[in-house]
Structure 1
């Protein structure tokens, strides 16, 4: 297995390509976006976790980006790392996965191992991918091998990366599992083999559903603890001193990124479709987490009322509009619905983010405030949505007329915490 094609060169596919290249594997990064391909071949990175220097090193080691599907003909392994968003009414959209698989089916050679890394509902690898690859009488374990291995890329994580994060693999057949494990073992320290592809698919969804539900628990507690005048942040700090039986989760302005807002819905969808009843925990967690932007705006409005100001016409400065700290990724960021709700109530919004130059909200393009301290002093209320390392939240809160901390990082009486 020396020639690998990775379909999709985004936040999952590109680090995977880097890991394989560093292990001496010949890698072609396939992407339909011509601009992405051109940038990569020029040594320019478009994701937070890889620098231009990293791409340059990959290129010097033989990596190449391409939008020519014929590169698949020479591949021993083809890995699918394409987006799996939600479509209308929260239904999984596997259009990119189907398209990638059809491209593979049109070009793969006998003996190719195909691995799906894109998050999806249980059964996708066997029920959707396999039939597409079995065109014209081709068969699993004779003409191709097929496995699922969930991506575990955590953008911005300085401790765990591709190499030292255990990799789960589950094949449609025993031979497929064996080959997939052999492939990933070349550049991942620990490979964990699941019983099969369905188990591997469900393991990914369990990981993120677990987080989704526990975050929802904290978000709901944040509401009633506020009403009962209980400092939930202090409660969590006290509870997590227990050395067993407790893991700390935290409330926030909403959930963002690809995993938490999206992945549990894939599991809920499959349960409803296959079994005819709802996955109640997931649907309740979705309801709670999706309501947090409105709750944040409600709290902001309450703070302004106490200061004898109306939200209509008040200036609101939002700090941090990405979904995670210290990265530029804005996917599903709760900052967007919060901004839209503020605008609908007549607020005048502005933003500052050291990772984002321009931000699209309600059809408008906003530019980050060039002078953070001046912007804070001129705003009626400042809302900390993402605690980037560039922010000294305590110091910033001292400069603001009103400061609402949705991340619980401030320690002074000048700030109001979620």
Structure 2
């Protein structure tokens, strides 16, 4: 039975089911289609399904031409989870956010699994890609799968293979980013390697699903801690009258033992602001208090307040208050050159400024209209940058340094410019470094 499934997966005769057609699931879907697999894509958002069926894209860095090609070929988007009975593999790419108490919210994973269980069958593989704490796959998914009368490792196979997508990164693609994979049993791992081996250049096996789950957390905690360090260094350097970006550039000339990280107004995206808390929550079950990780989280979470204080200082120097001032936020995506707003610190800055009485606007060439979000609401459209439009604002806050911005125009015509990204190295009376 296992060998039949492996042969099917390796020959591209298998039908692949991808659940969750967002920033992770959609690129993976297109990669399977590119290789020649038939893919059934599942999403609870009927609007997304309809958009894909029309051959259109809702993610900026994924072209409509790629969607059209896939839909005209072997890609079938659907919101009908009963079609899971047609597939040989199910890959779960659904969100794993935090709840309002900053604790793991597995509702998307568990609700999705529960919806799929009635349609599972023998000789298939289920892979979870959503970032989560060690133990989720075998503690939560395995028991649910086995309520169907299946036996994981015998007639159905279960793996964890964390996503590593980096939206907007032109240097790496779904194909070229190495894929970590851990199975619940050795047989599960063998099937998992076959699942990904035909579409990913290098698949990295690990000993268990828990090892794979912790691998993803370590990757993102490593980034969170180092960003927390450089954000703290930024505040120290500022007090000392030193440009932290000059220091980072100089330190980065060392060819060993140093990796440059850059400060900002906070951290964003679906991974770095969230993933560390999955481990700190799980560590408490083992009597561990992850002080280092939590301290980095506290520093990173405090950065929007630091930036707002810089805005207030800049306005005060011009004998103005935040209350009543017009503030233009440049860039509301969580990082440069993408349209991804998940956990964007720019949005938190906008909310804090609004709460202080500022009249807030934004400009972002990648996000023409402020989208509907579960926790944030602004009825705004992107402001086109010109000499005239910039002069209308009391303060321009550079939050996300998109390459499409005209930085000379901004510097020349912004009455007050608060720079969170170190784009302006030279000093100027109207530029405040934050």
- TM bracket, shorter-chain basis: over 0.9
Normalising by the residue count of structure 1, what TM-score does the alignment of the two structures yield?
A: 0.97
Residue 218 (structure 2) aligns with:
206
- Map residues 252-267 of structure 1 onto 2, 5 A cutoff: 252-267=264-279
Q: 1 CA distance for matches of 2:131 and 2:247?
A: 34
Q: 1 CA distance for matches of 2:39 and 2:58?
A: 18
Aligned-pair CA distance for 1:390: 1.0
Residue 171 (structure 1) aligns with:
183
Q: In 2 relative to 1, CA 234–14 (structure 1 residues): closer, same or farther, beyond 3 Å? A: same
Q: 2 CA distance for matches of 1:270 and 1:375?
A: 49
Q: Are the equivalent residues in 1 in contact too, given 2:394–2:416 (CA < 8 A)?
A: yes
Q: Is structure 2 residue 122 aligned with structure 1 residue 116?
A: no
Residue 45 (structure 2) aligns with:
33
Aligned-pair CA distance for 1:194: 0.8
Q: 1 CA distance for matches of 2:142 and 2:418?
A: 51
Residue aligned with 1:317, SS? strand
Residue 291 (structure 1) aligns with:
302
Q: Which runs of 5+ in 2 are unaligned?
A: 1-8
The one-character-per-residue Cα deviations of 1:134-162 (angstroms, maximum 9, x if unpaired) are 11542112220000000001111111110
Which of these residues, 239, 249, 258, is aligned with residue 246 of structure 1?
258
Residue 85 (structure 2) aligns with:
73
Residue aligned with 1:254, SS? coil
Q: 2 CA distance for matches of 1:57 and 1:23?
A: 13
Q: 2 CA distance for matches of 1:47 and 1:363?
A: 20
Residue 384 (structure 1) aligns with:
398
Aligned-pair CA distance for 1:222: 1.0
Q: 2 CA distance for matches of 1:31 and 1:255?
A: 27
Q: 1 CA distance for matches of 2:381 and 2:28?
A: 33
Q: Which runs of 5+ in 1 are unaligned?
A: none
Q: 2 CA distance for matches of 1:114 and 1:204?
A: 18
Residue 216 (structure 1) aligns with:
228
Which of these residues, 160, 166, 173, is aligned with residue 161 of structure 1?
173
Q: 2 CA distance for matches of 1:278 and 1:394?
A: 48
Residue aligned with 1:357, SS? coil
Residue 413 (structure 1) aligns with:
427
The one-character-per-residue Cα deviations of 1:240-297 (angstroms, maximum 9, x if unpaired) are 000011000011001111011111111111101x113321112111111111111100
Q: Are the equivalent residues in 1 in contact too, given 2:131–2:163 (CA < 8 A)?
A: yes
Which of these residues, 383, 387, 410, is aligned with residue 396 of structure 1?
410
Residue aligned with 2:296, SS? helix
Residue aligned with 1:316, SS? strand
Which of these residues, 306, 311, 323, is aligned with residue 334 of structure 2?
323
Q: Are the equivalent residues in 2 in contact too, given 1:320–1:353 (CA < 8 A)?
A: yes
- Map residues 307-322 of structure 1 onto 2, 5 A cutoff: 307-322=318-333
How many residue pairs get matched? 417
Aligned-pair CA distance for 1:61: 2.1
Q: 1 CA distance for matches of 2:414 and 2:100?
A: 41
Q: 2 CA distance for matches of 1:394 and 1:205?
A: 40
Residue aligned with 1:64, SS? strand
Q: Is structure 2 residue 53 aligned with structure 1 residue 22?
A: no
Which of these residues, 153, 156, 177, is aligned with residue 144 of structure 1?
156
Aligned-pair CA distance for 1:363: 4.5
Q: Are the equivalent residues in 2 in contact too, given 1:48–1:155 (CA < 8 A)?
A: no
Q: In 2 relative to 1, CA 108–136 (structure 1 residues): closer, same or farther, beyond 3 Å? A: closer
Aligned-pair CA distance for 1:337: 1.6
The one-character-per-residue Cα deviations of 1:376-395 (angstroms, maximum 9, x if unpaired) are 11211111001111113244
Q: 2 CA distance for matches of 1:390 and 1:88?
A: 35
Which of these residues, 351, 356, 363, is aligned with residue 362 of structure 2?
351
Q: Is structure 2 residue 378 aligned with structure 1 residue 367?
A: no
Q: Is structure 2 residue 25 aligned with structure 1 residue 9?
A: no
Q: 2 CA distance for matches of 1:184 and 1:353?
A: 36
The one-character-per-residue Cα deviations of 1:325-351 (angstroms, maximum 9, x if unpaired) are 111111111112211221222222221
Aligned-pair CA distance for 1:362: 6.6
Q: Mean Cα displacement is larger for which, 303-312 or 160-169? A: 303-312
Q: Mean Cα displacement is larger for which, 199-208 or 338-347? A: 338-347
Q: 2 CA distance for matches of 1:145 and 1:363?
A: 42
Q: 2 CA distance for matches of 1:186 and 1:228?
A: 54
Q: Are the equivalent residues in 1 in contact too, given 2:118–2:148 (CA < 8 A)?
A: no
Residue 280 (structure 1) aligns with:
291
Q: 2 CA distance for matches of 1:369 and 1:136?
A: 54
